[in-house]
Amino acid sequence: MPIKVGFLVGKDTDLVEDAKYHAIGDASFLADLPDLYRVCPESKEYLKNCPPGTKGFAHADVAIPWYIKKHYPDIEVDFILPEDISLKRLKSNQVNYVIGYDVINSVFEGPERLDKVTKAFKNCGNIMPSWEVQDFIYMKSSYMKKLLTMGVPMAPTVFAYKTNRTPEALLKEIKARGWRTFVMKQSYMAFSLGFMKLQVEDCEAKPEILADYFEEHADCPEYVVQEAIEGFTRNWETRCFWFNGEFLYAIANKAAVSTEDGKEVIITGDDIPTEFLENAKRIGREALKCLPQLRTPDGQPIGMTLIRTDIGCADSQVYDVNTNWDPNQKTFFLNEIEYGGTTYFIRHLKFDAMPLWAKLYVDKSREIVSLMENGKGAKRRGAAKGAAKKSAPKKSASKKPAAARKIVAKKSAPKKSATKKTAVKKKPAGKK
């Protein structure tokens, strides 16, 4: 019987039907992909919501499950579009993977939509990664605070929580830390929305800069405020991909603001300088340890699904009073942790990663179902043994053997009176 596996799709920034992918992989498996799963590059809408004749292209979130559908007959693939997300739909599958659309996307669609998606994710019990893992990553302070206690390097950071933050108090704390330039970003946010880079002296001269930010983003549960690391934009940010805690591949990019032609640069494979790759793997591997244990729907521990660790590099003065990074050498640090709904960068790689991702998700689905079936079998066997034990007829009481009667008789015989006391030597004090 096929394993029913759901994939939550909804990407518009991770092309597979692209000239770059055609140079490294075989896209023929997408020839019969229904157009309703393709996205218009202009409107970013699925073609089913576009005028007839609109041309669209497939992204990684639909390409991976379509590849599985074409190559793994024991997997029944369920493409779950954003508008189809419901508790009933998720529960209809044995396991569901967030590979495109997630709770962060629903934030932009209003509180009612956010509430519906969040409840479905929290209560279905079979979403991967689990809601516990997702929420831990969404709320950046959760993993950042834990990583700080573990000694994993990060940019100097303060958190401004919705319950007690004010522009004045935040600026005071930033100044006390000695920062000159800082960045503001948000938890429960994506696509760099809400990101700002600010100068302390500008905020002092114009307090409305922070006041306006606080007003515009009043509903955000927390702001993550960090000293701006000057070397971050001119060095490679190295993003490592992990599955089951094992390294898969990395891509490195430089922001458009730091390149000569003003365009983002992406490299991968052996083009990534060894120093950057090895330090990114070292820090990323440590960062994985902070995550909650991933579990099957019935609670059994399993290896983690896709996690991406993004590692930055500092190479100049950091002014934070609590940080002692040498400005004359590179310091690598964790920037962010992301999970399955992130960008896979498949078309930028030097190998065809489609078979790799398909096999990983298939093997994980088989593992989950196998563990759960074995768990149920063990419970049934345990229940059967317990029932058999309870229903077994009790043995009738029989006469004790002669040898046993003698022992009992001997124990019940009256004790002889002591005729002579034996002197007992006392132990020296203090010895045992």
Task: Please write the tens of the pLDDT for every residue from 35-62.
Answer: 999 999 999 999 999 999 999 999 999 9
Tell me how long the chain is: 432
Q: Which residues pair with 310 in a beta bridge?
A: 239, 336
- Please check the confidence at residue 422 and state whether its pLDDT lies above 60: no
Q: 400 forms bridges with which residues in the sheet?
A: none
CA distance 347 to 429: 82
Tell me what pLDDT residue 402 has. 47
pTM above 0.75, yes or no: yes
Specify the pLDDT at position 406.
43
Q: 199 forms bridges with which residues in the sheet?
A: 181
175 pLDDT higher than 50: yes
Place of tokens 């701006």: 228
Tell me the pLDDT tens digit for each residue of 383-411: 556 655 665 565 554 444 444 444 444 44
**Alpha-carbon gap, residue 24 to 355, rounded angstroms:** 12
The span from the CA of 94 to the CA of 78, in Å, is 11
Comparing 191 with 64, the larger pLDDT belongs to 64
118 Cβ contact partners less than 8 Å away, ≥ 6 residues apart: 103, 106
Supply the mean pLDDT for the chain.
89
Output phi, psi for 122, to 5 deg: -70, -30
Q: What is the mean pLDDT of residues 295-299?
A: 96
pLDDT of residue 192: 74
More confident residue, 422 or 236: 236
Rounded to 10 deg, the angle between the 274-288 and 140-150 helix axes is 100
In this prediction, residues 260-286 reach a mean pLDDT of 93
On the question of pLDDT at 351 being above 80, the answer is: yes
Higher-confidence residue of 259 and 315: namely 315
What pLDDT, on the 0 to 100 scale, is given for residue 272? 98
Q: Which one has a higher pLDDT value, 87 or 110?
A: 87
Looking at residue 392, its pLDDT comes to 58
* Residue 371 pLDDT > 60: yes
Orientation angle between helical segments 111-124 and 131-138, nearest 10 degrees = 140
pLDDT at 70 over 80: yes
Mean pLDDT calculated for residue range 289-300: 97
Q: What is the pLDDT of residue 387?
A: 58
pLDDT score recorded for residue 4: 98
| Cβ neighbourhood burial of 425 (10 Å; 0-12, 13-18, 19+) | exposed
- Is residue 376 within a helix (H) or strand (E), and if so which, with residue range? helix 354-391
Query: What's residue 266's pLDDT?
Result: 96
Domains and CATH numbers, the chain: 1-129+346-372 (no CATH), 156-228 (3.30.1490.20), 230-339 (3.30.470)
